[in-house]
Amino acid sequence: DLTTHHRLYYEPHGFHTAALQQLETADVVIAPIQDLVLPLLGPFIQGGDFALAAVKQLQPQYILPTASGGAVEYAGILDKLLTIKGSIEGFRQLLQENGCSTQVLSPAPGERVEVQLSPAVVG
């Protein structure tokens, strides 16, 4: 935001690119915190350690998880093959263990979220 200088970082699948390395900070990160894994293919959505690395680098006030299950139901063969690794509570604990003050938001699907951001520090 050019007026408030707040920054948002969004990566829906957890495959953080070189663009992440170019950022100094972000106030809000929107990224997965769980791994979604298919046999033989590995993770097609990366959370966990990758989200932790993004939080450590960007030091956001909040992280809003994508692909975190919640009200999502899988059916058919996908339900039998898909493995979900991690949880919102587990990620909160991981943040605490790593000395990160970032808060994890976990709204219900479709729920609006208003975040109260601290003033941005303009460098």
User: Alpha-carbon distance 12 to 32, whole Å?
Assistant: 6
All structural domains of the chain with their residue ranges: 8-102
In order of 111, 115, 123, the CA distances from 32 in angstroms are 17, 18, 28
pLDDT tens digits for range 7-63: 999 988 878 777 778 888 999 999 999 998 989 888 888 898 999 999 999 999 999
For residues 2 and 10, the model is more confident at 10
For residues 20 and 111, the model is more confident at 111
DSSP helix/strand/coil, 21:
helix
**Across 91-105, average pLDDT:** 97
Is the overall model pTM greater than 0.75, yes or no? yes
Question: What pLDDT does 71 receive?
Answer: 57
R_g of the chain computed on alpha carbons: 15
